[in-house]
A and B are shown apart, each in its own frame.
Chain A
Amino acid sequence: MLSVLLIEQVLNGLQFGLMLFLLAAGLTLVFGVMDMINLAHGSLYMVGAFLAAWLVALTGSFVLGVLGAIGLTALFGMLLEVTLLRTLYARDHLSQVLATFALILILNDGVKMVFGTDLALSAPEALAGPVELMPGLSYPAYRLLILGVGFVLAALMYALVAKTRLGALVRAGASNRVMTEAMGVPVRQLFTVVFGIGAGLCAVAGALLGPLLAVQVGMGENILILAFVVIVIGGIGSIRGALIGAILVGCIDTLGRTLLQHLFREFLPPQWASAAGPAIASIAVYMFMAVVLAVKPQGLFPART
């Protein structure tokens, strides 16, 4: 019984981790390549989720809705980069914090004005039921889809950064922007593309997690923090670090919440157990980050030295 629960939770953790990776990947690239703190990254995730919910309702098709949301969010991200964010690259981190914080306020209220405070988004009918993975282990089909999409995108991102010319340019930009520019690389366009990709990935995560976590205004803030924790653990500018960091954080968070509660219920009075479980689980992720930084102050796989 416990082992089935364990496997289930590991799968949940993996699934959450992969979605976190989608956010972290964009964030680490923007921070690593453009040296910009973008607090509004979580808002792109929210915009993606809302667009998906709206388009799915409009077209009646889950696939079309999600794909449309990804495209639109990527375009929106690039528009944002070209008009506003580009001017922040040269500014200090504090100014970037202020500006992107302002962006959060604008986007939160903006989305509310256009769509309302929340929208319904449910998993497609075909995937509503469970799948039997092993005798005794049933797992929701939709979550398996998320796992699948997550793995594929992770593999694609890795290939993109490690094997393609675009990826090489991005990595060069991450380690030395001035040099890259001096070599005649169109850095401006590169940045716009990187930002667009990041926004698109946010939309994937937002759309896929929508049915599970509820599409509502302000959903970006909580996951943004976790994304930052992931990239700090993984090492800023590193896609590999973002992936490993995200999976670790996803598992620690998920397993912490459920298993710790289980454990505590065995040993502590019930009112303590139901309170302590979530509290310790939330703290566990941050403690893990603190430990990682103590041992490896630049994260696990720092792209820059």
Chain B
Amino acid sequence: MSTTGLLSRSALLLGLISALALPWLLQALGAPFYISLAGRILVYAIAATSLNLVLGYGGMVSFGHAAFVGLGAYVTGVMISEGLLNGAAHLAATLAVTGLVALAIGAISLRTRGVYFIMITLAFAQMLFYLANSIKGYGGDEGLNIKQRSAIGFGLDLKDATTFYYLALAVLGASLVALARFVPSRLGRAVIAIRDDDQRAEALGFPALRLRLVVFVAAGMLGGVAGALAVNQQGYVSPNLLHWTQSGTLMVMVILGGVATLWGGVIGAAALLLLQEGLAAATQHWEFWTGWVLLAVVLFARNGLTGLALQAWSRMR
């Protein structure tokens, strides 16, 4: 195996071990309250990775992706508040609802291109946002407090930050494995070709609309799963989860981490959330400084943080 191969394998192993040991480490350092931050980062990492699938690899700039995350949160949150606590049922319902909604939105939106696609996905997301805002029965614009959690069996309680952390880690791990298998597969190759030049890909015989729709729906469903986890982590669901600025935040994470890279969503989510946490602790004006850091990244790190890391790596060799 080449040096790069060996090093990346070791890095991966090291990363995995650190991730698994993190809660224990934080406990040992006397900072257990950071475990829930880690959990939050994992949830955003899953959401950002799902966006990277549709935006980075699929080339579909969906400005309404937060709607799927919010939808998953609402489906799970509403089920819990109605007394249905079975985690498997939550997962099934989340996948079904987000899948169907993504299918409907995608079937219509994917007939447009460029900025019109961006706007139409945004429009649909805003519609869902206003819908969530108006359901008075489940909190309306004030949101809904969710007092219980999804029951995942084995006597595990998701209210415990460490338990939630490991569940989220498992889901993220599974998502990354699936993404890693997807990219070099037939579907992955076809979708990337369609992203590069959809007319040329069609001329070769690839059904562009159908394949894009498959990816759009898959990404929507994964986003929904992130939402289901989010409501379990925060114990709260509100229409703000669906607002276009949340879609913007997810997009920022993907761009920050590295568009169309396996770890882009994870790195971007971790970087942005840690940056925000760090700045918020230091100053009241953390939003101000976050903006400057992001600006610096756009201007000087064209391929996001992953790109920056790869550049640094190739310069060291």
Q: Is the CB of B298 within 8 A of A37?
A: no
- Determine the interface band of chain A, counting residues with CB < 8 A from chain B: 35 or more
Stretch at the interface among A66-74, A101-109, A153-161, A179-187: A101-109
Dominant secondary structure at the B interface: helix
Is A263 part of the contact surface with B, judged by Cβ < 8 Å?
no
Q: Is the CB of B291 within 8 A of A97?
A: no
Contact of B285 (CB < 8 Å), options: A91, A104, A109: A109
Which of B135, B291, B297, B299 has its CB near the most chain A CB atoms (within 10 A)? B291
Residues of B within 8 A of A93 (CB): 61, 115
Given contacts A228-B119, A275-B136, contact A99 B299 (CB under 8 A): yes
Question: C-beta contact mask, B259-280 vs A, less than 8 Å → 1, else 0?
Answer: 1000000000000000000000
**How long is the Cα–Cα vector from A84 to B184 in the complex, in angstroms?**
38
Question: C-beta contact mask, B282-317 vs A, less than 8 Å → 1, else 0?
Answer: 000101101111110111001000000000000000
Contact of B112 (CB < 8 Å), options: A84, A276, A297: A297
Contact of B126 (CB < 8 Å), options: A88, A113, A282, A293: A282
Residues of A within 8 A of B130 (CB): 278-279, 282-283
Residues of B within 8 A of A98 (CB): 251-252, 255-256, 294, 297-298
Q: Is the CB of A279 within 8 A of B116?
A: no
Contact of A106 (CB < 8 Å), options: B124, B140, B288: B288
Q: Is the CB of B115 within 8 A of A37?
A: yes
**How long is the Cα–Cα vector from A201 to B181 in the complex, in angstroms?**
51
Smallest beta-carbon distance A116→chain B, Å: 13
**How long is the Cα–Cα vector from A85 to B119 in the complex, in angstroms?**
22
**How long is the Cα–Cα vector from A100 to B135 in the complex, in angstroms?**
33
Is A2 part of the contact surface with B, judged by Cβ < 8 Å?
no
Is A51 part of the contact surface with B, judged by Cβ < 8 Å?
no
Is A305 part of the contact surface with B, judged by Cβ < 8 Å?
no
Smallest beta-carbon distance A70→chain B, Å: 25
Residues of B within 8 A of A108 (CB): 287
Smallest beta-carbon distance B247→chain A, Å: 10
Stretch at the interface among A17-25, A55-63, A127-135, A284-292: A284-292
Residues of B within 8 A of A271 (CB): 136
Given contacts A106-B292, A108-B287, contact A97 B120 (CB under 8 A): no
15 other A-B residue contacts (CB within 8 Å) besides A99-B299, A102-B252: A97-B248, A98-B251, A101-B251, A102-B293, A105-B290, A106-B287, A106-B288, A106-B291, A108-B287, A113-B285, A229-B119, A275-B134, A275-B140, A279-B134, A290-B120
Q: List 17 A-B contacts (CB under 8 A).
A: A88-B298, A91-B298, A94-B251, A95-B302, A97-B248, A98-B256, A99-B299, A102-B290, A102-B293, A103-B295, A105-B291, A109-B288, A110-B288, A278-B130, A279-B130, A282-B130, A297-B112
